Structure 1
């Protein structure tokens, strides 16, 4: 029953986080992008602070490490990630955005090597890293005549979003604050929302007067705040305790499926064959980079599957 519950929760999390890319795209019709992200985390912060206060004893920051952890989370994982992602999605489809964000586990390895120089990439790991960037090039498809032209800006911003969350994840691991995961998410949402509002106010292209609180826009906002943020993180931490960090990273590679399908159903978006091929190349790079950890984490699951086969 526990394994079945974990499988159901894994699919649920992939579905919620995958469809969030579609919700972002839909909500951008009603709200300026950074303001939209800020409003999302206004609501999410209220929900998560309330949840943390009720369910955790250690939900308020107490130490310097706690505060540094919250600042890193709030700045990199909430504010910069969402600012880059929401602006980037104004120029790419839901599915493409989800595929590019799938680079974050690969970029986490790059940042880990930078902060832990004694850990070197093997030849196979280097090939995996290069495959990740080849996959990005296949998805972004910059033209050879002008690789830094306007058509490359939007996927480039989404890739910066992936880099922000990857760097933030590595730094949080090094800081090792003691605050509960729920408290960490709650207060980083508060910090991130405040910073997103500051960024929005500083952008001449954004104004609260441009926000249109239409039914579709509000529905997208509520979906992102309640399901993708609040409920999504509760499920995430449940799975993290059950499965571990390596297996939970696989959500990044299941989410694009839900992003592409929901974008097609709700917004009439399509993925080109080269986008799908790029996704496969990025995932292959991830497998090569994490092959040892994946083998260790997944071997008990594979052993149980083999035991269910006929003749075993």
Structure 2
């Protein structure tokens, strides 16, 4: 059992929720701090190789099973490791070479909206006109953040946001593809294997890009950034995530994505003296509004405004 699961009150859940939002929100800034000292794919690969090894060791001690069994569990590890860890983080780190972490966090907050759209397309879950409007609002929010200039569509900022958006879509696709799979492997074991597989993919991409370990600059900011991403926003944050996922469900977990830009912007301002402009804030509000429309029934249920037994009009379970 996860050691954090002994904290049972709603107040403790809220504290864990805020802690997780802080850990994951600051990760965007930590990536920004570390990237000048690491090649991007090696940076992400080292982070997830270390975090995966630690979580798998934790699973070996606490979980009732360590190895995946059967086609569905192997497929789940492959999808999570390939899409959610490997490709998503590769594109995220490449994108953050061009845009600040605060802006990256706003683009990534579109992930729950894209997840709903992929679920409608792949799993035949219905998406009504409000859900479609929510998707369009989310896309509009990202466009506002990107602020594309028709005369310079290949600018570094546009390229960075485009890479992060593709990574976000890859993450959402992976989340949807794992839904139909029948898996009983403990989530700690699943996550550990997925992280190690994703790290292997990132190392292969680093080799393909010609990235060399010799080019890493082991400065103090580099070491602090890597340690923070591995231990705090990696291992500790995922243990908190496992606890909250079991206790409050996926809708509340999705809401963490909308606190992360607030945390990332605040820390980016305090540490790096970066100020988020009004246009980015408008884009973020549009993305959040899109999420609220897509998940409106689940949010109403969680807020006690509708009967939990009433089925969602667009086929989404709150969990």
In the alignment, which of 49, 74, 79 is matched to residue 72 of structure 1?
79
1:123 aligns with 2:111: no
Write the distance in 2 (CA, Å) between the matches of 1:51 and 1:176. 23
1:40 to 24, 47, 50: 47
2:160 corresponding residue in structure 1:
154
- Give the drift of 1:42: 1.5
Distance 1:120 1:146 in 2: 38
CA distance in 2, matches of 1:261, 1:299: 31
2:208 is aligned to: 202
Given that 2:33 and 2:225 are in contact with CA atoms closer than 8 Å, whether structure 1 keeps it comes out as yes
After superposition, the C-alpha distances for 1:12-37 in whole angstroms (9 at most, x for unaligned) are 00000000000000000110111100
Cα distance between partner residues in 2 of 1:108 and 1:202:
30
2:129 and 2:139 mapped to 1: Cα distance?
Answer: 16
The aligned counterpart of 1:136 is 142
Partner of 1:169: 175
How much does 1:255 deviate? 0.7
Distance 1:20 1:262 in 2: 10
State the SS of the aligned residue for 2:81: helix
CA gap 1:164/1:39 in 2 versus in 1, 3 angstroms: same
Question: Does the alignment pair 1:242 with 2:247?
Answer: yes
Partner of 1:20: 27
Mapped partners of 1:197, 1:125: distance in 2: 38
For this pair of structures, how many residues does the alignment match? 299
Asked if the contact 2:17/2:244 (under 8 Å) is kept, the reply is yes
Q: What are the ranges of 5 or more consecutive residues in structure 2 without an aligned counterpart?
A: 1-7, 307-319
Please give the TM-score of this superposition, normalised by the length of structure 2. 0.91
Aligned twin of 1:309 = none
Deviation at 1:151, TM superposition (A): 3.3
CA distance in 2, matches of 1:192, 1:177: 19
How many Å separate the matches in 1 of 2:198 and 2:134? 32
Unmatched runs of 5 consecutive residues or more in structure 1: 302-312
Q: Is the 8 A contact 1:45 1:190 kept in 2?
A: yes
The answer to whether residue 279 in structure 2 is matched with residue 274 in structure 1 is: yes
In the alignment, structure 1 residue 226 sits paired with structure 2 residue 225:
no
Residue 144 of structure 1, CA deviation: 2.5
User: What's the counterpart of residue 196 of structure 2?
Assistant: 190
Deviation track 1:95-148 (CA, whole Å, cap 9, x = no partner) reads 10000000100000111011123x332111111111000000000111123435
Task: State the alpha-carbon separation in 2 of the partners of residues 228 and 300 from structure 1.
Answer: 34
**Structure 2 residue 56 is matched with structure 1 residue 58:** no
2:206 equivalent to 1:213: no
Partner of 2:100: 93
- TM normalised by structure 1 equals 0.93
Separation in 2 of the partners of 1:58 and 1:5?
Answer: 28
SS in 1 for 2:36: coil
CA distance in 2, matches of 1:24, 1:126: 33
RMSD over aligned Cα atoms: 1.4
